[in-house]
Structure 1
Amino acid sequence: MLGQGSVFADPLADYERCIWEQLQDADHEMRIGELKRLCLDLPDPLAHPTVSDSEPLAPVTEKSISLVERRLHAEMETRSNPFVLSPHKQNYVLLASYNDKPNYEVYNTPPSEFDRLEMKFQLSFKIPIVDSLFDTRADLYAAYTNLSFWQAFNRDISSPFRETMHEPELFLAIPNDWQLFGWRNVLQQYGVVHQSNGQGGYLSRSWNRAYANFIFEKDNYLVSIKPWYRIPEDNDDNPDINDFLGRYELRGIYKRENQTFSLMLRNLFDGESRDTLQLDWSFPIHGRWRGYLQYFNGYGESLIDYNAESHRLGFGVQLTDWL
């Protein structure tokens, strides 16, 4: 089990004991594959056969659990609970965020009526659809992410939501364990995603993509490489969106004790100076509440003004992080 240190034990017995204990607590809908995954942190019993009574017992050390595996194990423990939604991306509220370069030309409202200070929040969750698809290690998920920009302090125009983006997706998650230059590829994801601002007419913005996401770890560092392909559409509201949001996203995360630092990069080296950068810092406050600081500089922060540069700094609280 997670959290155990070096012990003297029979690995096969520990593995069977773990399965038995999980079986006692499992509900009638839990599958055998889920039970086995809860005990994946134990040494492989086939690779570590039991020793005879005449041989001295050797210490069995806990298998090194990566940051991603730790999160997956935590999600596994609650995935059969009908009252729990597993997070997909970050969940946060920027209580105050200031954009010194807003783009309000797209609206019919005079620019002077909008505030540069607004709230920004993101809600993101995923639901397992099929475990061990076709008897493989691949799991199928559905996910939804909502990102909203709220003129909460602007009472002159009744505090409207300036922009809300909806992002449903379907993806396969495949655990992996191969090395590349000292980095371990712990997870691969392959999916399709639709993103829209839910508007009609000249305010409509949307696009569909197929993507792959390769996640690598080393010590307390994580790097994800996420290329995508835009799926062509007959009626395209924003045909040049790839020119501003690019064709890939790079993310780096560093976890130092209870603090998390992350960097997101998009559209580098496009020759048009349309690169995008986002910096995040989260830290513990109390219980599950975390402080959150976010800086964004570039294009595509929201769909309504994907082709306008944005400079934003915000602070607030975070409920769930990447790791």
Structure 2
Amino acid sequence: MNVLVRMALIPALLSVQPLKADAQDPKTPAEESWEVSPELIREEKMEDSNFYRYKDNYILTGNPNTKVQLSLKLRPILGENFYFGYTQQMFWKLSNKSKPFQDISFNPEIFYEWVKLHKNLRSVSFGIEHKSNGKDGLESRSLDRFFVESGVEFGWMGNQFRWDTRGFWIYDIDWQTNNEIKQYTGFWYTRFAVDGLLDQLIPTKAELYVQFNPGGESGTKISYGSLESGLKIRARLFGSLPYLMLQYYHGYMESLLDYNKPAHSYRVGFLL
């Protein structure tokens, strides 16, 4: 009897259609409301791409202390070359027992930038910036200034040259604690850099730069100014390892706290 029942059920079982592997239950309104539209995905990607490196990010140690700089800029309005920049520079006494920060400078900026205006004119920007060390009392330092900056680049003999110049006008300072700071800042500075110096010798990427800031309110007191030079090297043999960086500084205004004291420092570390 059991055999006859099974034989009778075989045609019925064969007539049943198997479920398709890709069949899905219809989505509920709640599930559909959680779907992200392609337009929103594109906007999120644009927002993520609005963060940029600005000035050099590095950690360097040597004489007389360790120097750390972090810098970025972001574009708050999509599609506009209007930027908020921020740079923080720290002088860290790692050799001391408690490892204190000797001085920290906070440097927010708001500026507008035109890019690729000409074959060799890389950018022109103008804006305002604030620079202070966040301290109070006799150690308080601050200044506010308008600035205009231009960037030029060109190639020659297999090397890439960049020349950036910033002119500025200080409209406010801390008159109680750094009333003569204009004597040590001048009204402009310039930075010259060259890439590709060692490409013909070893498989590496290198940049040499020099930055000069004359002193005096009219920029004529060279002895009150400063000179910073540096060398950045990254061997391509090591892939994504950070650049090795050497930096030398001579003059005034390396730190806001000791802006009127001459500095003679040399450091080595990594460009991040």
Report how far residue 272 of structure 1 moved.
5.8
TM-score normalised according to structure 2 size: 0.74
Is this contact kept in 2: 1:297–1:311, CA < 8 A? yes
Q: Which amino acid aligns with 2:234?
A: P
Q: Which amino acid aligns with 1:29?
A: E
Which position in structure 2 is the counterpart of 1:241?
Answer: 181
Deviations 1:217-243 (A, max 9, x none): 111101011000001358553121111
Structure 2: any 5+ residue segments left out of the alignment? 1-37, 200-204
Q: Which amino acid aligns with 1:262?
A: Y
Which position in structure 2 is the counterpart of 1:92?
Answer: 58
1:236–1:212 distance in 2 versus 1, CA, 3 Å = farther
Q: 2:166, 2:179 → 1: CA distance?
A: 21
1:248–1:236 distance in 2 versus 1, CA, 3 Å = farther
Q: 2:166, 2:192 → 1: CA distance?
A: 12
Is this contact kept in 2: 1:253–1:262, CA < 8 A? yes
**Residue in structure 2 matching 1:161, options 79, 94, 101:** 101
Residue 124 (1) aligns with residue 71 (2): yes
Is this contact kept in 2: 1:172–1:191, CA < 8 A? yes
Report how far residue 316 of structure 1 moved.
0.3
Q: 1:91, 1:26 → 2: CA distance?
A: 32
Is this contact kept in 2: 1:150–1:163, CA < 8 A? yes
Percent identity for Structure 1 against Structure 2: 25
Residue 314 (1) aligns with residue 264 (2): no
**Residue in structure 2 matching 1:277, options 204, 212, 227:** 227
Q: 1:234, 1:125 → 2: CA distance?
A: 26
Which position in structure 2 is the counterpart of 1:292?
Answer: 245
Which position in structure 1 is the counterpart of 2:22?
Answer: none
Which position in structure 2 is the counterpart of 1:150?
Answer: 92
Is the strand fraction higher in 1 or 2? 2
Is this contact kept in 1: 2:214–2:221, CA < 8 A? no
1:1-323 equivalent positions in 2, closer than 5 A = 27-29=41-43, 80-81=47-48, 85-94=51-60, 96-99=61-64, 118-133=65-80, 139-155=81-97, 158-178=98-118, 184-219=120-155, 220-233=160-173, 235-256=175-196, 257=199, 258-267=205-214, 270-271=220-221, 273-285=223-235, 286=238, 287-319=240-272
1:201–1:79 distance in 2 versus 1, CA, 3 Å = farther
Question: Radius of gyration: which is bigger?
Answer: 2
Structure 1: any 5+ residue segments left out of the alignment? 1-23, 31-77, 100-117, 134-138
1:152–1:234 distance in 2 versus 1, CA, 3 Å = closer
Number of aligned residue pairs: 218
Is this contact kept in 1: 2:69–2:90, CA < 8 A? yes
Q: Which amino acid aligns with 1:178?
A: H
Q: 2:241, 2:125 → 1: CA distance?
A: 27
Q: Which amino acid aligns with 1:92?
A: Y
1:234–1:277 distance in 2 versus 1, CA, 3 Å = closer
Is this contact kept in 2: 1:79–1:86, CA < 8 A? no
Q: Which amino acid aligns with 1:282?
A: K
Deviations 1:257-279 (A, max 9, x none): 41011110001662361131101
- 265-274 vs 195-204, which moves further: 265-274
Is this contact kept in 1: 2:46–2:78, CA < 8 A? no
1:236–1:209 distance in 2 versus 1, CA, 3 Å = farther
1:190–1:25 distance in 2 versus 1, CA, 3 Å = same
Q: Which amino acid aligns with 2:88?
A: N
TM-score normalised according to structure 1 size: 0.63
